[in-house]
């Protein structure tokens, strides 16, 4: 029994005389390692406020031939699914004079310009790939606009309702859309050329 008692006494004395060694082992095992994320400043996060773009539209309506137009647009993000939009559009309206007897109803080669604003709501969102290697976010949105249409020498209130499919890359986007539109211009309403449909393609970048 004496050798065993001597051994226990020796171990107790060793632990008492070397607390630093024991403490170092405990600290090495249990001391946590503090890690920080790579982004430490708010300015380092890429924030997009909206988009701007340019595009072409194809318009068609009864009693007039189809025509191409130019479209400029801007979108300002108002949330995850909502955005405010503004649009300027220019297109030829007719190529030939339209008259009734001696009364000229439409001058030859009149043009139509639209300046409108509205809102869009993305009711479908997702991501897709064209080559199976890289995916791009996309969304389908319902858009409503109201503004002003100037046709020749007369003016009317413009309203439009349509759908837009948008695909976004890191800095650029491309979209295609379809819309029904109408103007309350009394001159155009009298000859039933105040409404129609259009589809178009546009592209631009984010800001």
117-145 per-position pLDDT tens digit:
999 999 999 988 777 778 889 999 999 99
Comparing CA positions, the residue from 51, 41, 66 lying closest to residue 141 is: 51
Q: Which of 10-19, 76-85, 155-164 has the lowest mean pLDDT?
A: 10-19
Q: Give residue-wise pLDDT tens across range 156-182.
A: 999 999 999 999 888 899 999 999 999
Q: Rounded to whole angstroms, how far apart are CA atoms 168 and 139?
A: 9
d(CA 181, CA 1): 105
Q: The CATH number of 42-206 is which of 2.40.160.20, 3.10.129.10, 3.30.360.10, 3.10.580.10?
A: 2.40.160.20
Extents of the domains making up the chain = 42-206
Query: The dihedral of CA 62, 196, 112, 59: what is its sign?
Result: negative
Hunting for tokens 């129609």 — which residue is that?
Answer: 196
CA 30 to chain centre: 49
**Confidence grade of residue 6 (pLDDT, cut at 50, 70, 90):** low
Is the pTM here over 0.85, yes or no?
Answer: no
According to the 3-state scheme, what is the secondary structure of 155-176? EEEEEEEEEEEEEECCCEEEEE
Per-residue burial over 103-114, b = 16 or more CB atoms within 10 Å of its CB, e = otherwise: eeebeeebebbb
């Amino acid at each position: 029994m004496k050798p065993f008692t001597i051994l226990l006494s020796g171990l107790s004395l060793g632990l008492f005389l070397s607390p630093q060694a024991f403490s170092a082992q405990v600290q090495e095992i249990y001391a946590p390692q503090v890690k920080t994320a790579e982004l430490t400043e708010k300015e380092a996060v890429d924030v997009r406020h909206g988009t701007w773009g340019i595009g072409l539209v194809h318009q068609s309506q009864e009693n007039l031939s189809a025509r191409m137009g130019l479209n400029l647009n801007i979108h300002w993000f108002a949330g995850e699914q909502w955005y405010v939009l503004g649009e300027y559009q220019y297109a030829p309206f007719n190529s030939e004079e339209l008259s009734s007897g001696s009364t000229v109803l439409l001058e030859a080669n009149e043009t139509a310009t639209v300046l409108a604003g509205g809102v869009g709501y993305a009711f479908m969102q997702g991501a897709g790939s064209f080559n199976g290697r890289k995916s791009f976010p996309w969304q389908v949105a319902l858009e409503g606009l109201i503004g002003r249409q100037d046709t020749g020498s007369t003016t009317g209130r413009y309203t439009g309702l349509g759908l837009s499919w948008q695909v976004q890359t890191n800095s650029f986007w491309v979209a295609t859309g379809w819309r029904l539109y109408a103007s309350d211009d009394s001159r155009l309403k009298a000859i039933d050329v105040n409404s129609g449909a259009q589809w178009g393609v546009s592209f631009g970048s984010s800001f």
